[in-house]
Amino acid sequence: GQQVMQIPQYQHVQEGEDFTTYCNSSTTLSNIQWYKQRPGGHPVFLIQLVKSGEVKKQKRLTFQFGEAKKNSSLHITATQTTDVGTYFCDASKLTFGGGTRVLVKP
Amino acid sequence: DVKVTQSSRYLVKRTGEKVFLECVQDMDHENMFWYRQDPGLGLRLIYFSYDVKMKEKGDIPEGYSVSREKKERFSLILESASTNQTSMYLCASSLYDRNVEQYFGPGTRLTVT
All residues of chain A having their beta carbon less than 8 Å from the beta carbon of residue B103 are 45
**N residues, chain A:** 106
Distance from CA of B43 to the nearest CA of A (A): 5
In order along its 113 residues, chain B shows pLDDT tens digits of 669 999 999 999 999 999 999 999 998 999 999 999 998 788 999 999 999 999 999 999 999 999 999 999 999 999 999 999 999 999 999 987 666 789 999 999 999 99
Average pLDDT of the residues of chain A: 92
CA distance B16 to B67: 20
Residue A81: strand, helix, or coil: helix
Q: What residues of chain A, 56 to 75, have a C-beta less than 8 Å from chain B? A: none
Question: Are β-strands B108-112 and B10-13 bridged in parallel, bridged antiparallel, or unpaired?
Answer: parallel
